[in-house]
Structure 1
């Protein structure tokens, strides 16, 4: 069984399927002001034509291939966005306030009693001294993820004792 689309040039295939690319972009509720999703759809259509152009189910395969590529592009952009936000967070340093311990010594002693040594190091160096997570990791010879873990554990423990200070 021969597929008539395998005999067509890519220009003819493009003309026939460009509305379907726009439909998939619309169906995924994407804004495409710079036509990057549309371009990705054209590339996916070309790849589908090269790979499945002879197949009688080409329209279905092309639709699946294009939709998958658009979703991959969404995921890729999301990963890039998340990485940029994380890098910005790591570089961001809190306002340094050397006198923060003197505001309520009882509070800080209560905090210290409830935390492990690593969690206290995080609180002291990140909140009190104003170091970045990256600096703390270097000073403590630990990974950035480990330091973040100390902070998360400290925040969980502090939620319960903070109810007394609200």
Structure 2
């Protein structure tokens, strides 16, 4: 950028800010947290810094750089969502078989179950936990993750089996929520 006739980046950004929005819209990207917009601005900055006037117009170079950076970010996030979905499905596969929960013989040791979870699995469960009441989370934690029986949970929590079943019914209802499923990457 030795050319003294070049405009400052602030001026370039003001003139081309809509270009970033255009590519976000064109690629049909949802950007509630302005991640893609920030990535587009970074791409514009890199394009501004690396621009060589002998190779073409600045606008074309901006379009190329911004679009490709946004596509890269979308692919990266898609891979992350896919990995989280696989982890969630794996958990679900091991925890539930149809309507019956698979339990190891005499297994009520939850610590051993959660120790084997990787970070993405723990992150999914943390998101789920935020959506549930304490009792609903107890049902998920003990019944699904810990593979405990309803009777064991009721005894441990000093309540009735009917209360534990009610926790489970309400938890399942919340877990079917489409907004939650979208956040977990389980629903398109």
TM-score, with length taken from structure 1: 0.52
> Helix, strand or coil: the match of 1:65?
helix
Taking the aligned partners of 2:20 and 2:76, their CA distance within structure 1 comes to 19
Count of residues paired in the alignment: 96
Give the direction of change, closer, same or farther, for the CA distance of 1:3–1:29 in structure 2 (3 Å limit).
Answer: farther
Give the direction of change, closer, same or farther, for the CA distance of 1:12–1:53 in structure 2 (3 Å limit).
Answer: farther
TM-score, with length taken from structure 2: 0.46
2:48 matched to 1:42? no
Residue 66 (structure 2) aligns with? 66
2:9 matched to 1:10? yes
The higher radius of gyration belongs to 1
Name structure 1 gaps, 5 residues minimum: 99-166
Residue 109 (structure 1) aligns with? none
Q: Is the 8 A contact 1:25 1:37 kept in 2?
A: yes
Name structure 2 gaps, 5 residues minimum: 105-188
Taking the aligned partners of 1:44 and 1:96, their CA distance within structure 2 comes to 49
1:80-134 deviation digits (Å, cap 9, x = unpaired): 0000011112222222289xxxxxxxxxxxxxxxxxxxxxxxxxxxxxxxxxxxx
Taking the aligned partners of 2:31 and 2:52, their CA distance within structure 1 comes to 27
